[in-house]
Structure 1
Amino acid sequence: MEYNRITNSKDPLFAQMHQLMQEIFPPEEVLEFNLWKEPLEDPGIRVFVAVHEGKVVGATEYRYYEDFNVAMTDFTIIGQAGLGVGPFLANKRSHDLQQLANENGQKLSGMFAEIYDPYRVEDFEFGGVKPMDPYVRREVLAHLGYKRIDFPYVHPSWNNDGEAVTGLDLCFLPMGENNTTIQSDLVVAFLKRYYTVLPNKPEAWLKMIEELESKEQLALKNI
């Protein structure tokens, strides 16, 4: 299996990846094809696909924030069961991020991820691919060490229509000694940076940020 980075929307592998995204994720979670040009060309956004026998069978997008010394996993897609796509992507991503942190003179302190709550997204089929089932994914991420950041989470729709998207938790994989709390100001700074690309913020998101700004720390809970 090959781990190939995509940096151009004209790459034929990108067309396969975007089609896979549409098959796996609900519409409000998928950025339109023609809006991918700038993100793919952004050196800070790392988009990789797992290619098996010339076919894209998985993908992951993530980024490393040098000033925060944290990463964010935007998404992970397993398009076919039985090939070991999930461990392959996780291992390759981890190695890449640790190398980026090392180049920054740091040891990676943690990684954010939005994780579906299976009790709130039962209607989503995720392309019928069992490894993408929210119950399975949540259990896998729990085993990896991810913790749920303890606050009610919403995010702006990637349709940029000002709608609030629910059904997910913002989680964090702590890699330092502290695995019970996270600084609220880090969460706020991260969310503001991450969603800069979406100017139409829903009122619920703005209220959430305001409430987070009034706190010092947030608990990290088991998922």
Structure 2
Amino acid sequence: MEYIRVKSIEDPYFTAMHELMSTVFPSEEVLAFDLWREPIEDPDIHVYVAVEHGNVVGATEYRYYPDLRVAMTDFTIIGAMGLGIGRFLYVNRSNDLKRLQSESGTESIGMFAEIYRTHAISTFRFGNVLPMHPAVRREVLSHLGYRKLDFAYVHPSWDHEGKAVSDLDLGFLPAEDATETLPTELIVRFLKTYYTALPNRPREWEEMISALGQETDIALMPL
């Protein structure tokens, strides 16, 4: 299996990845094909596909913010069972994030991820690929050490319609397992930076940011 970076929507691997993404995720979580043109050319946005015998069988996108000393996993897609795709993506992403830390002369304090709440999905199968079911993904992320931040999380929909998506928790994987809280200043700075790409943000998101600003720290809770 190969770990290949995709930097252009003209890349055939991107077309295959976007088709896989559109199959797995709800429409409000998928940025339209043409709107990827500029983001995917951003050197700070890392999009990689897992390729087996010429076919895209998985993908991941992530970024690292040296000034905040945090990473963000935008998505992880496992397109088939029994190939070890999840472990393959995890190991290669971890190694690349270590490289990014080394190059920036910083040491990460952890990584954010948006994690579906299992009660938000009523069907047993999700995205037609069993490993992508929210219950499975949530348990895997918990096993890796992710915890959820203790506040009601919403984010702007990626379809640019300005809807509030409330089916997820904001998770965090601390570099030090003993970490029990995160400063709200860090959370707010991260969210404002991350969602700069979506100028059409809903009222619920703005209210969430305002409420966070009234707190000092947010607890990390079990998934």
* TM-score band, normalised by shorter chain: over 0.9
SS at 1:214's partner residue?
coil
Residue of structure 1 equivalent to 2:133: 133
For 2:22 and 2:163, the matched residues in 1 are separated by 19
Letter in 2 for 1:22: S
Q: How much has 1:123 moved relative to structure 2?
A: 4.1
Q: Take 1:2 and 1:8, find their aligned partners in 2: how far apart are those partners?
A: 18
Deviation of 1:177 after TM superposition, in Å, equals 5.7
TM-score, with structure 2 as normaliser: 0.98
Q: How does 1:1-223 map to 2 (within 5 A)?
A: 1-123=1-123, 125-176=125-176, 178-223=178-223
Distance 1:83 1:122 in 2: 27
Alpha-carbon deviation of 1:106?
Answer: 2.0
Alpha carbons of structure 1 residues 146 and 177: separation in structure 2 relative to 1, 3 Å: closer
Q: What CA distance in whole angstroms lies between the structure 1 residues aligned with 2:164 and 2:124?
A: 17
Structure 1: tracts of 5 or more residues without a match:
none
Q: In structure 2, what is the Cα distance between the partners aligned to 1:24 and 1:129?
A: 7
TM-score w.r.t. the length of structure 1 is 0.98
Q: Distance in 2 between matches of 1:138 and 1:63?
A: 21
Give the drift of 1:178.
Answer: 4.2
Corresponding residue pairs, total: 223
Indicate conservation of the 8 Å contact 1:113/1:170, yes or no. Answer: yes
Q: Describe the superposition over 1:95-144 as per-residue Cα deviations: whole angstroms up to 9, x where unpaired.
A: 10011111112222100000000111224843221111111100000000
CA contact (8 A) 2:127 2:133 kept: no
**Structure 1 segments of 4+ aligned residues over 6 angstroms from their partners:** none
Q: Alignment RMSD, CA only?
A: 1.1
Between the aligned residues of both structures, percent identity stands at 56
In the alignment, structure 2 segments of 5+ residues that lack a partner are none
